[in-house]
Structure 1
């Protein structure tokens, strides 16, 4: 059974790269959601004026990888205690947010947030926001890390996040 979770945890390049490492993940779409601007561009989202977050829509096969692993990986690959930022990326577009498609997903997301609160020092600021329209990011942002492995941001920021997920969830690696 395929399920899709829409999650935001800073720059979508990092989440995209980390999720693509996991067996059972069938698709990762870098996208924008949570804002008011229709069909926003990367440049518009980067200003913070659109209200959108950089997010990923992660589709996975629950018979291969449990939903709890997808969500625990989410809380491993970014710092959910940083409000409207991840490292040097600052603004609401880099917020930690989960966008449940329905009440059942909201309950699963709440459980994951509670689990994360047990292992992160400080308060979890990850929000649960209604899933509105999801706008795919431009092609250049899809699977960005694989296309740009030597790019400075990828080396400095994405690689450590990918490595954290690889270490914590080695039994689910491709």
Structure 2
């Protein structure tokens, strides 16, 4: 429950299909809201059809509103890097194109520094076994929320074949590996 005087911050991540990335962050402690949308391109108020063409320059992304007193930005980065492949350029699984790129859109100088330091740490520790991390770190521009039918997609459409094949196994892994960071089951 949000406290009246609680300060929130915004994090924006692009890590492939926003249906997947949204699902991973919705249940984290301290996360108040996750919105699927588009960022990083040149077209104002883009549609899913436009972004899917790859011609707008936008990435499918999520905008996370979180309470930094309950979840650190670094925790969000950890989940981000644990739930997609940051070593594949413009691709996540079968989803291919610049709209599926791995990119962190920072909203503060502190977020930029944290993201760059996190990437350096992952690289120094050889977490991806010699594969180069291609995740870009960019200043956040205008974020455009996606159409309503994209919001809370996994929660509302979990029985769909894509959700069962792609998102559900990753959600199971997230629940197993990050149980202490998840909200209590209602």
Count of aligned residue pairs for this structure pair: 174
1:123 aligns with 2:129: no
TM-score normalised according to structure 2 size: 0.90
Find the counterpart in structure 2 of residue 22 from structure 1.
28
1:133 aligns with 2:145: no
Deviation at 1:167, TM superposition (A): 2.1
CA contact (8 A) 1:3 1:59 kept: yes
Cα shift readout 1:12-35 (whole Å, capped 9, x = no counterpart): 000111111211110101010000
CA contact (8 A) 1:30 1:57 kept: yes
1:55 aligns with 2:61: yes
Q: Which structure 1 residue ranges, 5 or more long, are not aligned?
A: none
Deviation at 1:93, TM superposition (A): 0.1
RMSD value, Cα:
1.1
Cα shift readout 1:42-85 (whole Å, capped 9, x = no counterpart): 01101100000000011111211121111100000100001000
Deviation at 1:130, TM superposition (A): 2.1
Work out the CA distance in 2 between the residues paired with 1:7 and 1:32.
Answer: 10
1:71 aligns with 2:80: no
Work out the CA distance in 2 between the residues paired with 1:35 and 1:123.
Answer: 24
CA contact (8 A) 2:73 2:111 kept: no
Superposition misfits of 4+ residues, deviation over 6 angstroms: none
After superposing the two structures, state which structure 1 stretch, 142-151 or 155-164, moved more: 155-164
Deviation at 1:4, TM superposition (A): 0.9
For residues 22-171 of structure 1, what are the structure 2 equivalents within 5 Å? 22-117=28-123, 118=125, 119-121=127-129, 122-171=131-180
After superposing the two structures, state which structure 1 stretch, 154-163 or 51-60, moved more: 154-163
CA contact (8 A) 2:24 2:174 kept: yes
